[in-house]
């Protein structure tokens, strides 16, 4: 029977009562009145020591007896038809055990430089590499296009001659599948809202008091996770497959392998004990996973296939680039009247270049129109990447908002308040951010510093959405020696779900985090979430708590006769089970565990539907960034960041802050450095390494001060929602606004490298003289 | 990477013995040569380790007040040497800003001088460029934002990568080059090979030759030097411009100047026109900016790197100021 509980919900300390209906066997949700011992506090990463000492075993580290090493042969050309492949010399090379083409029959159509042609498995990696050199491929080289603007032209070489189906992973926004047209290399436009027309928005903007209009460009960013993509595959029987995978979706990899080899799910086991990051590019099994399994079957030996850094840049995903023409208007009170966005970008041979999320979902406005297109080019396919579409969308939108504020002579932070009047969370965050950063001390006039090095402060908002998934199964096993083990199939993307599980279980069971063992990353355990869309913590944590709660109830049933009371009168804390009304009457956890019949019991918690829909279904965040711009060299340094974010109730504050830090650093890197550069004349990436593909390092990292604003929803037993993606959305836009505040110049193209900053400064000089 | 023999030399004679194999390469710190082998750009039959030769690793004062640095002295040893920091600050500054601490602990001064350019076409096995014996410079009409703005008219437009070379040139360094029992000495300025002379080489070293020492002359009276490297990123990045300045000063009056640019041209590029601007005059921000303009007068940027001219102008005038003890940002 469901029961009703009255919870304290709200933003920060501004709480009100809300009646929530919960299942009878579920714990009362944590709310604003609960001050918890571990949850929301700083619990150190439980696998930190293993990771820093090298004890943690990643897919990369797996070594099996008789294991072969596999490598891909990849196309040198961005567009070609392969009609002949001669492997006769390679197959005779010492140590080579199998060679398989990615496509059974030729011709094979090549659409980007780096596309897989075939794979070789040999006894050593060196032999595989040498054998690849002996393979003769006859290419019928075709015309290619890697520039998205050239690709839009009428006579451009077409990347696809057929209609392309959009492929979505767990990392992509679950949008409506739109019926869009594809003509030449352009797929789209996708118009939103459905009934909108350019005429209506143009009329609304024409009658606005103030309008700003500009075009923004963002670059292609590659995921560049620390661990590359890859698998180790072992056929343990003719119809049984074991696979270690560097993945953010253990169960999706299992399903794809089972599907590819027509095996029952129970015959495929995926293991991901530790993995070195994915950022959205590691959802499926990939061609590499399927090929590794085929090679292993062919060679009758385990196969390891890990990509190298170059392949990582070329073939397994990237954040698409964009060109966004944005026109926004406001009335003389500073209220937004309308937003018009025309956007296109290329995800290479993939789709997903949309950017409209921030424009649609941050501010309140009267009119909206967006038009988004994908442009196909002969480049590696895009993939979901930490808040797909949003850092690029926010870079444009947040600069436009800033520009409009200046035009109206309204403080940019105040302007953001004016245009989010009904969002209590944003109002609270903007207030905190202003206080933390000392916004009031900021000189309202841009470019006010004397001397060549000028400092500026910029602000930008973030937006993401609350997704959580359903039906995850967490089990808590209590052994009769008192030890506790919590198990779920979920992988730890690096965000700290392992620590979150420990924290929640310790809290619920009244034990210490060090008393809890966790086992994750195995498709033979209970169903767990794919780590995409920032769902892992919001999705899994209620099942963890409910499972621990169920285990606690079992322990109370055992303890009740021992304490001569009933289970409903008991509580657990500090390693003891005691009578609520009379805490002196207690037993240690271990004393009770001794009475467990048999050896152990297992209690299951399941992720169900939220108890109610959130009033505001978005995740927010605001970042204020201080930069120093060297106006003579164009070099920008981000010096300080104040970040205010929300994620419902944070489970472990330490890993939450770590996520925010990571999002900001990745955002700074996106704003200032990262850029996939394809050679215009050959279509080959010139900086497919970690030296010339520039990623922010320690000295490029600003001082970061973050505030996690507690928001109590009471929507689930833990009240957690995600943080991974929203943390990176605002950063590049805030840097752009800080550069404007420092110099009086807008840099509307990413990355904001010295060449672009100097060109923008030069253009201003030209305009003012 | 190819399979190769590995010869570990115990002394200089041993190194020359190993180098008798015609298809051999010298490895000191191994930072660059192993990279080149991994990229498939070098495939020597034998690699000769000279890092194991104790006689090549030293920082010693010579007879005439000069300083002699052994070729396998690490960059970390150079950046932390009190003698070098006091008498040749530009060299210490150059060594201290190269790559990362981990690399500086292993990389050697000799290897730093002999490293090959970082041009992304040259470094990739996907492109068979002029410097690799091909017939095309892909950078000239391609992605050349980090390429040369000076001395770039002879087909290959790479930039010189060594920061210590730039500092050493400004300090008037000489090299000792040995082959078996023979030794010769030459000015570092004469060590370099331009693309016009031989596009496949960066210096005059022949196979079997070894830099054994770098000699820094006794500092002139009132000599002051400074090196600055401007990067896009502050962590682990190659310069977009690096400049070394050595001044002989009388008060603020410049009696003699040497200004050398790195990352500007295929070889370290001395800019005499800029030096002449300073000659006999008191150093001021204004004068330093005039010198910077003179240094860039002959710059011929490529399609994507015009910004480098502005960056060089800024770095040159600032480095002159720093060398002269003038605050370049004073208003």
Q: Does the beta-carbon distance from B311 to A637 stay under 8 Å?
A: no
CB-based contact B12:B55 (threshold 8 Å): yes
Rounded distance between C-alpha atoms, residue B184 and residue B202, angstroms: 19
Say which of A673, A754, A759 has its CB closest to residue B240: A754
Query: Over 80: is that where the pLDDT of A497 sits?
Result: yes
Q: Which of residues 143-162 of B touch A (CB under 8 A)?
A: 143, 145
Q: What is the largest CA-CA distance in chain A?
A: 90
Question: Could you tell me if residue B50 is inside a domain?
Answer: yes
Residues above pLDDT 90, as percent of chain A: 96
Provide the pairing of β-strand A96-101 with A182-183: unpaired
What does the pLDDT read at residue A163? 80
Structure tokens given for A658: 């770590």
Q: Is the pLDDT of residue A769 over 70?
A: no
To the nearest whole Å, the CA of A313 is away from the closest chain B CA by: 14
Q: Among partner residues B3, B232, B234, which is closest to A753 by beta-carbon distance?
A: B232
Residue B147 C-alpha from the chain's centroid: 16
- Residue A419's H or E segment, with its range, is none
Q: B245: which strand partners?
A: B226, B259
Q: How many CB atoms lie within 10 A of CB B3?
A: 8
User: Is the domain of B251 the same as that of B166?
Assistant: no
Contact B126, B42 (CB under 8 A): no
Could B314 and A682 be called an inter-chain contact, meaning their C-beta atoms sit closer than 8 Å?
no
Q: Which of A14, A19, A6, A31 is nearest to A713 (CA)?
A: A31
Going by pLDDT thresholds of 50, 70 and 90, the confidence category of residue A187 is very high
- Residue A180 is predicted with a pLDDT of 82
Place of tokens 């410079």: B137
Q: How many domains, chain B? A: 3
Q: Which of A679, A701, A753 to mutate against chain B (most B CBs within 10 Å)?
A: A679
Among B192, B216, B240, the domain boundary falls at: B216
Distance CA B227, CA B322 (A): 9
Residue A169 is predicted with a pLDDT of 79
Is residue B65 domain-shared with residue B211, that is, in the same domain? Answer: yes
- Beta-strand relationship, B210-216 and B174-179: antiparallel
Angle CA A642–A647–A648, to nearest 5: 130
Are the beta carbons of B234 and A634 separated by less than 8 Å?
Answer: no
Contacts of B314 in chain A (CB under 8 A): 452, 630, 632-633
> Cβ distance A9 to A32 under 8 Å?
yes
Residue ranges for chain B with pLDDT beneath 50: none
Location of structure tokens 């709200």 = A10
Q: CB-CB: which of B235, B237, B314 is closest to A633?
A: B314
Contact B196/A at CB under 8 A: no
Specify whether B75 is located in the same domain as B96: yes
What pLDDT is attached to residue B13?
96
Domain termination residue (choose one: B55, B75, B90) = B55
Burial class from Cβ neighbours inside 10 Å (0-12, 13-18, 19+) for residue A501 reads: buried
Q: Report the sign of the C-alpha dihedral through residues A98, A102, A103, A106, in that order.
A: negative
The SS3 assignment for B115 reads coil
Calpha distance A708→A580 (Å, rounded) = 32
| Interchain proximity A681–B142, CB inside 8 Å | yes
Q: What is the mean pLDDT of residues A654-681?
A: 98
User: Comparing C-alpha atoms, which of B25, B69, B68, B21 is closest to residue B50?
Assistant: B25
CATH code for the domain in which residue B233 is found: 3.30.390.50
pLDDT of residue B277: 98
Residues B6 and B103 in one domain: no
Cis status of the peptide bond prior to A195, with omega within 30 of 0: no
Query: What are the Cα distances from residue A645, in Å, to A92, A253, A459, A623, A657?
Result: 59, 32, 13, 8, 10
In a shared domain, residues B50 and B60: no
Dig out the tokens for A334 from the structure: 């500073």
Contact with chain A for residue B233, Cβ under 8 A: yes
- The pair of three-digit structure tokens given for residue A188, joined into one six-digit string: 């789209």
Closest CA to B260 of B152, B184, B168, B179: B168
DSSP A141: E
- Cα separation, A308 vs A103, in Å, equals 22
What is the spatial distance between Cα A391 and Cα A728, in angstroms, rounded to a whole number?
7
pLDDT at A764: 87
Residue A639 with chain B: CB contacts under 8 Å: none
The count of other CB atoms within 10 Å of the CB of residue A265 is 13
DSSP B298-329: T----TT-THHHHHHHHHHHHHHHHHHT--TT
Q: Which of B55, B77, B93 is the last residue of a domain?
A: B55
Three-class secondary structure of residue B33 per DSSP: helix
Query: Dihedrals φ, ψ of A560, to 5°?
Result: -50, -55
B120 within a domain of the structure (yes/no): no
- Return the residue matching tokens 């003890």: B325
Per the domain annotation, does B126 fall within a domain?
no
In the block, tokens 């530790």 appear at: A274
Checking if the pLDDT of A176 tops 60, the result is no
CATH classification at residue B195 = 3.30.465.10
Task: Say if the Cβ atoms of A634 and B307 lie within 8 Å.
Answer: yes
User: Residue A139's closest CA among A73, A72, A75, A87?
Assistant: A75
CA B132 – CA B125 distance, rounded (Å): 9
The per-residue pLDDT for range A136-165, each reduced to its tens digit, is 999 999 999 999 999 999 999 999 988 887
The mean per-residue pLDDT over the stretch A517-530 comes to 98
pLDDT band for position A711 (50/70/90)? very high
B179 touches chain A (CB under 8 A): no
Q: Give the mean pLDDT of A554-574.
A: 98
At A166 the pLDDT is: 75
Chain B contact set for A687 (CB, 8 A) = 120
- Cα–Cα distances in Å, from A653 out to A94, A701, B123? 54, 21, 44
Helix (H, G, I), strand (E, B) or coil at A704: strand
Q: What are phi and psi of A417, to 5 degrees?
A: -70, -45
**pLDDT given for residue B155 in this prediction:** 85
B96 touches chain A (CB under 8 A): no
CATH number at residue B33: 3.30.43.10
Residues 6+ apart with CB under 8 A from A277: A223, A225, A226, A227, A493, A494
Q: A-chain residues within 8 Å CB-CB of B329?
A: 451-453
Record: contact A680-B307, CB cut-off 8 A: no
Q: Is residue B128 part of a domain?
A: no
Residue B311 has its nearest CB partner, among A452, A633, A692, at A633
The CA-atom distances, in angstroms, between A471 and each of A174, A551, A579 are: 18, 18, 33
Q: Supply the pLDDT for residue A1.
A: 82
What is the least distance, in Å, from the CA of B203 to any CA of chain A?
24
Q: Please tell me the distance in Å from B139's CA to the nearest CA on chain A.
A: 9
Residue A153: which residues within 8 A CB-CB, separation 6 or more?
A: none
Q: How far apart (Å, rounded) are the C-alpha atoms in residues B176 and A551?
A: 77
- Nearest chain A residue to B314 by CA distance is A632
Residue A766: band (very low, low, confident or very high) from pLDDT cuts 50, 70, 90? confident
CA angle B217, B220, B225 (to 5 degrees): 85
Are B42 and B177 in the same domain?
A: no
Q: Are residues B66 and B13 in the same domain?
A: no
For the beta carbon of residue B329, count every other beta carbon within 10 angstroms: 12
Q: Do B235 and A754 touch (CB under 8 A)?
A: no
Helix axes A653-672, A390-407, angle to 10 degrees: 70
pLDDT digits 0-9 by tens, A98-126: 999 999 999 999 999 999 999 999 999 99
Which residues of chain A lie closer than 8 angstroms to B234, CB-CB?
A: 637, 697, 699-700
**Per-residue confidence band for A177, with pLDDT thresholds at 50, 70 and 90:** low
Per the structure, the complete domain to which residue B31 belongs is given by: 1-55
Question: Which residue from A41, A24, A34 is spatially nearest to A712, judged by alpha carbons?
Answer: A34
pLDDT band at residue A209 under the 50/70/90 scheme: very high
Helices (H) and strands (E) in chain B, counts: 11, 12
CB A403 within 8 A of CB A375: no
In angstroms, rounded to a whole number, what is the distance separating the alpha carbons of residues A241 and B117? 47
- B13 HSE (CA, 13 A, CB side): 1
Give dist(CA A683, CA A159) in Å, integer: 13
In angstroms, rounded to a whole number, what is the distance separating the alpha carbons of residues A656 and A491? 17
In a domain, B229, yes or no: yes
* Mutation target among B310, B312, B329, B331 for the A interface, most CBs of A within 10 A: B310
Report the percent of chain A where pLDDT is more than 70.
99
**ipTM > 0.85 for the complex:** yes
| Same-domain check for residues B167 and B254 | no
B168 and B269 together in one domain: no
- Mind telling me how many Å the CA of B1 is from chain A's nearest CA? 8
The gap between the terminal CA atoms of chain A, to the nearest Å, is 77
Please classify residue A445 by burial: count the beta carbons closer than 10 Å to its beta carbon, then call 0-12 exposed, 13-18 middle and 19+ buried.
Answer: exposed
Q: Cβ of B143 and A696 within 8 Å?
A: no
Which residues, listed in sequence order, are joined to residue A110 by a DSSP beta bridge?
A: A80
Pair B322, B285: CB distance under 8 Å: no
> Contact, A39 vs A507, CB < 8 A?
yes
Q: Give the E-state strand segments of B196-311 in sequence order.
A: 210-216, 223-231, 239-250, 253-262, 269-270
Task: Spell A396-432 as b/e; 16+ CB within 10 A means b.
Answer: bbbbbbbbbbbebebbbbebbbbbbeebbbbebbbbb
Question: How far apart are alpha carbons A506 and A762 in whole angstroms?
Answer: 59
In a domain, B20, yes or no: yes
Closest chain B C-alpha to A681 CA, distance in angstroms? 7
- The verdict on whether omega for the bond into residue A751 sits within 30 degrees of 0, i.e. cis, is yes
Residue B137 inside a domain? The answer is no
Q: List chain A residues with CB under 8 Å of B120.
A: 686-687, 692
User: Which residue ranges form the domains of chain A, and what is each CATH number?
Assistant: 66-169 (3.90.1170.50), 318-374+390-466+614-768 (3.30.365.10)
pLDDT of residue A171: 79
Q: Are residues B86 and B177 in the same domain?
A: yes
Helices (H) then strands (E): counts for chain A: 18, 34
Burial class (CB in 10 A: 0-12, 13-18, 19+), A254: buried
Whether B287 and B168 map to the same domain: the answer is no
Cβ of A681 and B141 within 8 Å?
yes
CA distance A431 to A417: 9
pLDDT of residue A178: 61
Residue B129: inside a domain, yes or no?
A: no
Instruction: Find, in chain B, the residue whose alpha carbon is nearest to that of A129.
Output: B1
pLDDT at A768 exceeding the cut of 80: no
Element at B164 (helix H, strand E): helix B163-170
Q: Are residues B164 and B251 in the same domain?
A: no
């Amino acid at each position: 029977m469901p029961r009703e509980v009255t919870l304290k919900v709200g933003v920060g300390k501004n709480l009100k009562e809300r009646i929530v209906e919960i299942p009878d066997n579920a714990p009362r949700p944590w709310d604003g009145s609960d001050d918890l011992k571990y949850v929301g506090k700083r619990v150190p990463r439980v696998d930190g020591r293993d990771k820093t000492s090298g004890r943690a075993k990643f897919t990369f580290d797996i070594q099996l007896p008789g294991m072969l090493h596999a490598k891909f042969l990849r196309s040198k050309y961005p567009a070609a038809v392969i009609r002949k492949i001669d492997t006769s010399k390679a197959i005779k090379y010492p140590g080579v055990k199998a060679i398989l083409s990615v496509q059974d029959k030729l011709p094979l159509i090549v659409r980007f430089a780096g596309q897989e042609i075939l794979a070789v498995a040999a006894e050593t990696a060196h032999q595989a590499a040498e054998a690849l050199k002996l393979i003769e491929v006859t290419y019928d080289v075709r015309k290619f296009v890697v520039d998205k603007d050239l690709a839009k032209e009428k006579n451009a070489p077409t990347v696809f001659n057929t209609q392309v189906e959009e492929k979505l992973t767990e990392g992509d926004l679950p949008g409506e599948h739109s019926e869009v047209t594809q003509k030449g290399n352009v797929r789209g436009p996708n118009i939103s809202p459905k009934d909108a027309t350019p005429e209506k928005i143009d009329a609304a903007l024409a009658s606005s008091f103030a309008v700003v209009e500009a075009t923004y460009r963002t670059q292609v960013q590659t995921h560049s996770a620390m661990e590359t993509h890859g698998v180790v595959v072992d056929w343990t029987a003719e119809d049984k497959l074991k696979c270690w995978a560097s993945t953010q979706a253990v169960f999706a990899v299992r399903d794809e392998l089972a599907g590819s080899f027509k095996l029952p799910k129970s015959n495929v086991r995926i293991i991901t004990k530790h993995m070195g990051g994915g950022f959205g590019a590691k959802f499926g099994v990939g061609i590499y996973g399927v090929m590794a399994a085929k090679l292993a079957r062919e060679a009758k030996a385990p196969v390891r296939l890990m990509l190298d850094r170059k392949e990582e840049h070329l073939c397994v995903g990237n954040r698409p680039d964009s060109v966004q023409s944005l026109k926004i208007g406001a009335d003389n009170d500073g209220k937004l009247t309308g937003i018009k966005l025309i956007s296109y970008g290329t995800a290479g041979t993939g789709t997903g270049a949309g950017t409209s999320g921030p424009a649609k979902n941050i501010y309140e406005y009267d009119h909206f129109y967006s038009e988004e297109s994908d442009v196909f080019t002969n480049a590696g396919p895009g993939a979901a990447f930490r808040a797909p579409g949003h850092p690029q969308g926010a870079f444009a939108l947040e600069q436009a908002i800033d520009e409009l504020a200046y035009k109206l002579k309204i403080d940019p932070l105040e302007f953001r308040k004016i245009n989010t009047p009904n969002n209590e969370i944003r109002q609270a965050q903007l207030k905190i951010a202003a206080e933390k950063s000392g916004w009031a001390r900021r000189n309202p006039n841009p470019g006010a510093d004397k001397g060549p090095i000028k400092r500026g402060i910029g602000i930008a908002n973030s937006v993401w959405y609350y997704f959580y998934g359903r039906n995850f199964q967490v089990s808590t096993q209590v052994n009769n020696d008192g030890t506790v083990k919590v198990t779920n199939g979920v992988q730890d993307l690096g965000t700290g779900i392992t620590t979150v599980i420990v924290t929640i279980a310790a809290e619920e069971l009244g034990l210490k985090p060090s008393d809890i063992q966790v086992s994750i990353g195995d498709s033979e355990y209970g169903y767990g979430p794919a780590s995409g869309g920032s769902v892992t913590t919001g999705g899994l944590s209620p099942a963890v708590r409910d499972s621990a709660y169920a285990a606690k109830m079992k322990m109370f049933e055992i303890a009740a006769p021992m304490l001569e009371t009933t289970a409903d009168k008991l509580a657990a804390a500090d390693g003891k089970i005691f009578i609520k009304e009379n805490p002196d009457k207690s037993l240690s956890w271990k004393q009770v565990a001794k009475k467990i019949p048999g050896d152990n019991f297992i209690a299951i918690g399941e992720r169900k539907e939220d108890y109610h829909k959130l009033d505001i279904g978005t995740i927010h965040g605001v970042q204020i960034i201080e930069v120093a711009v060297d106006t003579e060299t164009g070099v920008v340094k981000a010096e300080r960041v104040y970040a205010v974010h929300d994620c419902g109730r944070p489970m472990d504050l330490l890993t939450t802050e770590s996520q925010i830090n990571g999002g900001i650093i990745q955002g700074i890197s996106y704003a200032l450095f990262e850029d996939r550069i394809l050679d215009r004349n050959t279509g080959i990436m010139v900086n497919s390494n970690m030296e010339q593909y520039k990623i922010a390092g320690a000295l490029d990292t600003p001082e970061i001060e973050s505030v996690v604003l507690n928001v109590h929803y009471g929507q689930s037993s833990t009240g957690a929602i995600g943080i991974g993606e929203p943390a990176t959305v605002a950063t590049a836009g805030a840097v752009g606004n800080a550069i404007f505040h420092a110099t009086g110049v807008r840099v509307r193209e990413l990355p904001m490298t010295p060449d672009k900053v100097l060109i923008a400064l030069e253009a201003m000089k030209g305009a003012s003289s | 990477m190819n399979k190769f023999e590995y010869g570990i030399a115990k002394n200089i004679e041993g190194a020359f013995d190993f180098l008798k194999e015609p298809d051999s390469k010298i490895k000191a710190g191994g930072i660059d040569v192993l990279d080149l082998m991994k990229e498939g750009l070098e495939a020597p039959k034998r690699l000769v380790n000279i890092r194991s030769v104790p006689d090549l690793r030293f920082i010693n004062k010579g007879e005439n007040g000069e300083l002699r640095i052994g070729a396998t002295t690490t960059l970390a040893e150079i950046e932390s040497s009190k003698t070098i920091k006091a008498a040749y600050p530009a060299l210490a500054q150059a060594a201290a800003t190269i790559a990362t601490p981990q690399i500086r602990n292993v990389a050697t001064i000799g290897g730093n001088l002999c490293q090959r350019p970082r041009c992304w076409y040259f470094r990739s096995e996907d492109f068979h460029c002029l410097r690799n014996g091909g017939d095309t410079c892909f950078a000239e009409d391609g992605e050349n934002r980090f390429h040369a703005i000076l001395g770039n008219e002879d087909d290959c437009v790479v930039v010189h990568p060594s920061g210590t070379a730039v500092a050493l040139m400004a300090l008037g360094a000489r090299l000792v080059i040995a082959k078996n029992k023979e030794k010769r000495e030459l000015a570092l300025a004469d060590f370099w090979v331009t693309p016009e002379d031989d596009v496949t080489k960066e210096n005059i070293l022949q196979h079997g030759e070894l830099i054994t020492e770098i000699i820094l002359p006794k500092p002139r009276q009132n000599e002051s030097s400074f090196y600055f490297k401007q990067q896009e990123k502050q962590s682990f990045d190659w310069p977009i411009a690096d400049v070394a300045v050595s001044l002989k000063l009388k008060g603020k009056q410049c009696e003699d100047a040497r200004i050398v640019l790195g990352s500007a041209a295929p070889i370290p590029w001395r800019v005499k026109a800029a030096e002449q601007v300073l000659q006999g005059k008191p150093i001021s921000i204004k004068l330093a900016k005039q010198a910077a303009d003179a240094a860039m007068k002959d710059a011929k940027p490529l399609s994507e790197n015009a910004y480098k001219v502005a960056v060089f102008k800024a770095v040159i005038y600032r480095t002159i100021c720093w060398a002269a003890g003038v605050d370049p940002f004073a208003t």
